[in-house]
Amino acid sequence: MKELTPKKIVRELDKYIVGQTPAKKSVAIALRNRWRRQQIDKPLREEISPNNIILIGSTGVGKTEISRRLATLVNAPFVKVEASKFTEVGYVGRDVESMIRDLVEVSVKQEKSEREKTVLDQARINADERILENLFPKSDTSVMSEEAIERQERTRDKLRKRLLAGDYENRIIKIETKSSAMPLMQVMGPIGMDDITGNIQDMLSNVMPKQNKSQRLKVEEAREVFIKEEAEKLIDMDDVIKVAVQRAEQNGIIFLDEIDKIAGAENSGGPDVSREGVQRDILPIVEGCTVSTKYGQLKTDHVLFIAAGAFHVSKPSDLIPELQGRFPIRVEMNNLSKADFVKILTKPKNALITQYMALLKAEQVELTFLKDAINEIAAIATELNEKMENIGARRLHTVMTSLLEDILFQLPDKKITVMKLDKKMVQEKLSDISDDEDLRRYIL
């Protein structure tokens, strides 16, 4: 995190997301401020609260994408939840505290897999020793002469060398693996109580006797099983949990998507649960409270919240004032222009054009897009967004699928090895959808 300066974060996000610089900057600053806070001494540090952010922008301009990339970028526990999924306590749906429980869960997994990496070498050594013992069991040393013990060690060294050289990979050995009887049993709890149900399941699986199952496996397969078991033995789970809870408290990020769906005037009637009620439930969590999870208590004071919403119908000011106050930073995201579309098609590491080129490559076809073809695709997408609903960059996906549908269906074909798309071909292929008013209605 120390090296992850705001500029660096923005640069990394730039690799995947076109434009939207203000939004990128705000999230970068918020993240860095957390690190800065951790450098401060105790009494003052506890006073500094996170800069929670609301990203405001129409659909398909990159709100979720920014958060997704952020998650992989910063090595922090991160969960993304749809605010609309929550309902007031007691109703069908998930209670808001589940997002904190999810966060700890993610944190524990992260911490554990990081430690697994550090013990992997040792685990591999231990696993090979077990295989060796399995292939060539040692004789009881207590009844052996010193000389015999030495001889056994020497033979063993030789065998170990051959094992490591891969001489026994295809031998079949019999191993015992532990398996609990649990997977067969599903615990059904009351709806909305998914976490409790999970807890019951955990409890039961601890109580149930672990069954030993013997399996016949090739050495190379058995090694994988042993490495996993040995790694588990080398990790101190209590410590993992302790550190993971701290990490979630200090570095956790929760992305609250679709926050606009819980803002605004009450839906009159219907089974819809009160939106304001959900906001009131969320409030203490954002404000800072203690949530009990199966890994212990977790304080939410310093968890960073990034909320996002299109706010077409409602406005951020329709949120209850207390909640608004907890999201001091608001960033508006721009609608995407034709020039942006050209960049989105070509620039990001995972650009659509690159994706389709790779897909066709699998069929031994070299696909190229001439510059004017890309321009035309961007122009058509912009036009469709204006004439119909504006769905942002998602339009590019629909345009590209329509454009390439025939080709994708036709392949593989031995006669086709190169494919160059120019402006005219794009126009021809897409004339159906840009001309025909009726047809257009069906493509999103």
Ligand X SMILES: Nc1ncnc2c1ncn2[C@@H]1O[C@H](COP(=O)(O)OP(=O)(O)OP(=O)(O)O)[C@@H](O)[C@H]1O
Nearer to Mg ion, 64 or 434 (CB): 64
The residue from 9, 13, 17, 106 that contacts ligand X (CB under 6 A) is: 17
Nearer to ligand X, 80 or 247 (CB): 80
Listed ranges 13-21, 108-116, 117-125, 169-177: which one lies at the site for ligand X (CB under 6 A): 13-21
Q: Does 316 engage in binding with ligand X (CB under 6 A)?
A: no
Concatenated DSSP letters of 110-141: HHHHHHHHHHHHHHHHHHHHHHHHHHSPPPPG
* Min separation Cβ 350 and ligand X, Å: 7
Helix (H, G, I), strand (E, B) or coil at 351: coil
The residue from 63, 261, 275, 302 that contacts ligand X (CB under 6 A) is: 63
The residue from 344, 377, 378, 430 that contacts ligand X (CB under 6 A) is: 344
Nearer to Mg ion, 309 or 373 (CB): 309
Cβ proximity of 193 and 167 under 8 Å: no
Q: Does 84 engage in binding with Mg ion (CB under 5 A)?
A: no
Helix (H, G, I), strand (E, B) or coil at 308: strand
* Min separation Cβ 441 and ligand X, Å: 20
Phi, psi angles (nearest 5°) of residue 190: -65, 150
By beta carbon distance, the residue nearest ligand X is: 62
Total residues in contact with ligand X, by rule CB under 6 A? 18
Total residues in contact with Mg ion, by rule CB under 5 A? 1
Listed ranges 3-11, 62-70, 163-171, 322-330: which one lies at the site for ligand X (CB under 6 A): 62-70
Alpha-carbon distances of 225 from 57, 114, 130, 175, 220, rounded to whole Å: 48, 19, 11, 9, 9
Adjacent-strand bridge partners of 217: 173
Q: Does 348 engage in binding with ligand X (CB under 6 A)?
A: yes
* Min separation Cβ 24 and ligand X, Å: 10
Nearer to ligand X, 21 or 246 (CB): 21
Task: Give, as one character, the DSSP assignment of residue 76.
Answer: S
* Min separation Cβ 97 and Mg ion, Å: 23
Residue 89 to residue 98: CA distance in whole angstroms: 11
Listed ranges 7-15, 58-66, 159-167, 261-269: which one lies at the site for Mg ion (CB under 5 A): 58-66
Nearer to ligand X, 310 or 407 (CB): 310
Q: Does 227 engage in binding with ligand X (CB under 6 A)?
A: no
Pick from ligand X, Mg ion, none: which does 19 bind, CB < 5 to 8 A by kind? ligand X
Nearer to ligand X, 23 or 131 (CB): 23
Nearer to Mg ion, 64 or 197 (CB): 64
The residue from 9, 12, 13, 18 that contacts ligand X (CB under 6 A) is: 18
The residue from 12, 65, 111, 230 that contacts ligand X (CB under 6 A) is: 65
Maximum Cα interatomic distance, the chain, rounded to a whole number of Å:
94
Helix (H, G, I), strand (E, B) or coil at 396: helix
Tokens 């020793």 map to which residue? 129
Task: Give, as one character, the DSSP assignment of residue 272.
Answer: P
Adjacent-strand bridge partners of 330: 54
Nearer to ligand X, 64 or 427 (CB): 64
Q: Does 310 engage in binding with ligand X (CB under 6 A)?
A: yes
Q: Does 60 engage in binding with ligand X (CB under 6 A)?
A: yes
Cβ proximity of 267 and 275 under 8 Å: yes
Length of the chain (residues): 444
Tokens 């409270």 map to which residue? 289
Burial of residue 117, with CB atoms counted within 10 A of its CB: 0-12 exposed, 13-18 middle, 19 or more buried: exposed
* Min separation Cβ 63 and Mg ion, Å: 5
Interface with ligand X in residues 358-397 (CB under 6 A): 392-394
The residue from 5, 33, 49, 64 that contacts Mg ion (CB under 5 A) is: 64
Computed on alpha carbons and rounded to an integer, the radius of gyration of the chain in Å comes to 28
Burial of residue 23, with CB atoms counted within 10 A of its CB: 0-12 exposed, 13-18 middle, 19 or more buried: buried
Residue 194 to residue 312: CA distance in whole angstroms: 32
Cβ proximity of 79 and 254 under 8 Å: yes
Dihedral over alpha carbons 87, 90, 93, 97 (to 10 degrees): 70
* Min separation Cβ 51 and ligand X, Å: 21
Residues lying near Mg ion in the complex (CB under 5 A): 64
Interface residues with ligand X (CB under 6 A)?
Answer: 17-20, 57, 59-65, 310, 344, 348, 392-394
